[in-house]
Amino acid sequence: MQRYQDVIAIAANKDFGCRAAAESKLIDVLGPVLEISHLLHRLKKWMKPSRRSTELLFAGNRAKVVYQPKGVVGIICPWNFPLYLSLGPLVAALGAGNRAMIKMPPNCPEVTRVLQRMIGEIFATDHVTVIAGNHPNAMQISSLPFDHLIFTGSPQSGRQIMANAAENLVPVTLELGGKSPAFVAPDADINDAAKRIAHGKAFNAGQVCLSPDYALVPEKKVSEFISLVKKHYLAMHPQTEGGADFTALIDENANQRFLSALDDAKKKGAVITACGELGAGRQHPLHIVSAVSDDMTLMQTELFSPILPVLGYCSIEQALDEINARPRPLAIYLFSHDKALQQKVLVTTHSGGVTINDWGWHAFNHDLPFGGIGNSGMGSYHGIEGFRTLSHAKAVFQRNRFYPIGLFYPPYGTQIQKAVMRFFLRQPDTNLDVSNTEERSDAMNTKNFEHAESNLVDALTRFAQQTPDKTAVVCGGKQLTYKDLDLHSNKVANVLREEGIKAGDNVALSCPNVPYFPIIYYGILKAGGVVVPLNVLLKESEIAYHLQDSEAKAYFCFEGTEQLPMGQSGVSAFTNVETCRKMWVMPAGDELGLDVSGFQRQTEIVDFSSILLNGSDEPVANNIEEQDTAVILYTSGTTGRPKGAQLTHRNMHSNARVAVGLSWLTADDTSLVTLPLFHSFGQTAQMNACILVGASMVLVPRFEPGAVLQLMKDHRVSVFAGVPTMYIGILNYLRDNDVSLDGIKGVLKMAMSGGSSLPVAILTQFDETFNVPLLEGYGLSETSPIASFNHVDSDRLPGSVGQPVTGVEMKVVDVERNTVAVGELGEIAIRGPNVMRGYYNRPEATDEVLDIDGWFFSGDIGRRDERNNYFIVDRKKELIIRGGMNVYPREIEEVLIRHEKVAMVAVLGVADDTYGEEVKAYVVAHDGFDDADALIAYCKSQLADYKYPRHIEFRAQLPMTATGKLLKRELKAEVEKSSQ
């Protein structure tokens, strides 16, 4: 193309009689060159098999799409841009691995000869061949049994081409043009719009399928617009006939159509503003036509000539009605800077493409699809769309050899088959009368979707009706059936309604893994409220902050124990937050031991037992929608102040379904819940997942390895989830104690890990000890939390957190949020139904991490390999993961700096065999102070137990910049070097 550019321009000039060399080079030479360059830089990526997710029912198997050539592609191109419109499709065809036959137009013999020579230099004729002349013609070519056919031309010819191709069942891509409007909005810069439209009509003498075919202009500005178009046209073409930059109409047929259209318009009363005299040959200036009517020829067919009809409009709606009343065009050109109007036009009109504040350029950007819709065509090409259009997407399903495919074999009716069908199909409507079509239609409209589950509470109600006596929750010696859990949560919901809690109100909950948690959790949701679960290790000031920041209207708090006096802290915090109107304290034993008589607002603090004794267990009517917020989970950022991530019912429900698929959870399973339920992993992967399928859960208030192993035996636990610290604890306990695994091995079928990176040695050792897969994943509170996970049938690569789960997309981006290449480091970004709606009352913080396309930018640094496995290289800046819990150094630094003896402090995470990371503070002290124990005790009194530093190192100074900024990165590098 580069070598032949002058030859091409000369050939086109001969075919047209006069063709501007610049226009030939811009479209017929540069266009294909850009298309080729675009493809060469991306083809390797496009060709790779595409990993696809499986349905939850088939979790553990593999699915992918393999792209292969279709075969031979036929390309029938027009005369207006004979090289661009033949080589563009050819590039896509060759990129997809096909062979091609190109049928050139008969009125471009010179360009055809050049193309044949160029193609002959590179390709054998059985790879690419070029057909010249009119024998065979386009209609005869379209009757051949191609594997795909691309036609560019008029809608009339397109219909016949498609009919011919249908005889051989050949798929067809049609690019048919049509009447593309230029819509000049009231707010538009009318001078700029006139200039752009004048260029569009002058380019190639208007012989462009994308040329503005008519203009819609505010009625009061029509005269001004016409004058401006004429001015700009004459500035571009001061010389018409005989000018080298002035392209002629292609042949005498085109010339006669142009003259006839003008003559018809004159006879029917149109006003014609000519930008010069008609030429003696086929070179004519632009003619602007106003006072047009629909019966004129120029408003009934595509013009393909230098004629611009101008229609005035009185309102936006009238202009949109004018566009929508006509066949769908190849393009719409909107001239407006009003974002709302731009969106309205995009939503309320149909066209192949849109260019805003100019004409045609969307078709010259090869990462955008090019094609029409309706009368203007079907299908598209350019870029990846061209590759996909001309490739066969072959679906490949690979069954995992351990997948129980026998589940689908007769004899039918096994327990596991029934469980699967209940989960996926829910309950049939037994009241349907299929004997009458109208009644059946009504039933489908009013009943069949009435109980479709889209929130977190419907499944609980369903199983309370279907299996009321099935065990839902076990804790210590206590047991709740599904009926018990449903009725108790109804009592909570009714009391909240009585206290004035409305839909969307936030209600806080401080509770360990005891039956109170699910009772209150689902009760709040049934009332239409939003659950704000709080870490049970928070101190008084921290609880007060969360109550204040979340604007909680009510608060449920467990009484606590001697070792964990959380009730005392909760009551103290509540009394200092006036916006929180009511508090219930759940007793640790049979009776409430906490005396609240000495507290202010004591009348607003109530024993929770009164709800269970006196509350109404009648079902609560709710109108919960999937987009309603269900939970606000607090997570810190680099500022150190906790932020509330708002998770909707859809977020949590969809992620719980994912957890069900990952863990093979069914109604026959029992899950041991050691993960704290105030944490997103415990809520989603265990509690909500169990309720979703009607499984049983055994709650563990405090993790102790020996007790956990005994509970596994006693309750025949089949599913377990934990953080790495728990798995390390279990394996260490087994190493130091003689424990039989009878009753565990063979029953336990799945184990899951999250929260922080799991050492490969621990993963392998657990697999070998229990003979079950231990799957590791990745997620955040903001992603409900599961974003990626390893699968049973996948090779578990060291350090990998697996692949994106069903419905979730992930990518790795650079600092400008552009996707990086495979293997390169960058920030992990996540998109899917699991991503939060935003941070509560923090729009700026939300905008920092969520973009307009729904991508959540995690702040975590990682990479991706060729098989779409993700690896987390570093956590969020400065974040410490201690035993699966997030610790943010800034929060600890702010506590330490308040100590009178601390001059400067930096907090880092240091490696620890038990917790993965431990918290260490590097302190510059006043007056030679060096009492580490005193500082640790001080922090312990101010911070949750998992947060306070276990190690203090005193230093004379910390690394600083010249401007006095702490160089924490240098400190971390120094510490890591000294530890080697």
| Residues designated as active site | 175
Pairing of strands 287-290, 307-313: parallel
End-to-end alpha-carbon separation of the chain, Å?
59
Which residues make Cβ contacts (< 8 Å) with residue 946, sequence separation at least 6? 537, 882, 883, 885, 887
Provide the CA 279 distance to its chain's centre, in angstroms. Answer: 57
Coil, helix or strand at residue 173: strand
β strands within 359-470, DSSP E: 377-378, 391-398
Quick count: other Cβ atoms within 10 Å of Cβ 340? Answer: 8
Apex CA 711: angle with CA 708 and CA 715, to 5°? Answer: 150
The reply to whether omega before 136 is within 30° of 0 (cis) is yes
Burial (CB count within 10 angstroms: exposed 0-12, middle 13-18, buried 19+), residue 794: middle
* Sign of the alpha-carbon torsion through 243, 249, 253, 256: negative
Provide the CA 821 distance to its chain's centre, in angstroms. Answer: 19
> Measuring CA to CA, how many Å separate 4 from each of 7, 83, 115, 571, 977?
5, 12, 10, 84, 61
Coil, helix or strand at residue 789: strand
- Phi then psi for 768, rounded to 5 degrees? -70, -35
Which residues make Cβ contacts (< 8 Å) with residue 699, sequence separation at least 6? 473, 474, 475, 513, 514, 515, 517, 673, 677
Q: Is 627 left (phi over 0), alpha (psi -120 to 50) or beta?
A: alpha
For residue 48, give the DSSP letter: S
What tokens were used for 839?
């941070």
* Separation of alpha carbons 144 and 146, rounded Å: 6
Which 3-state string (H, E, C) describes 444-476?
A: HHHCCCCCCCCCCCHHHHHHHHHCCCCEEEEEC
What tokens were used for 745?
């091995």
What tokens were used for 397?
């399903």
* Separation of alpha carbons 201 and 333, rounded Å: 13
Please say whether the beta carbons of 56 and 63 come within 8 A: no
Coil, helix or strand at residue 838: strand
Apex CA 660: angle with CA 528 and CA 646, to 5°? Answer: 35
Which residues make Cβ contacts (< 8 Å) with residue 543, sequence separation at least 6? 510, 534, 569, 570, 573, 574
Helices (H), 801-853: 843-849
Nearest to 119 by CA among 145, 148, 87: 87
Residue type, 944: A
Residue type, 795: D
* Separation of alpha carbons 629 and 895, rounded Å: 33
Q: Is 21 left (phi over 0), alpha (psi -120 to 50) or beta?
A: alpha
Which residues make Cβ contacts (< 8 Å) with residue 325, sequence separation at least 6? none
Which helix (H) or strand (E) segment holds residue 586: the answer is: strand 582-586
* Separation of alpha carbons 134 and 498, rounded Å: 84
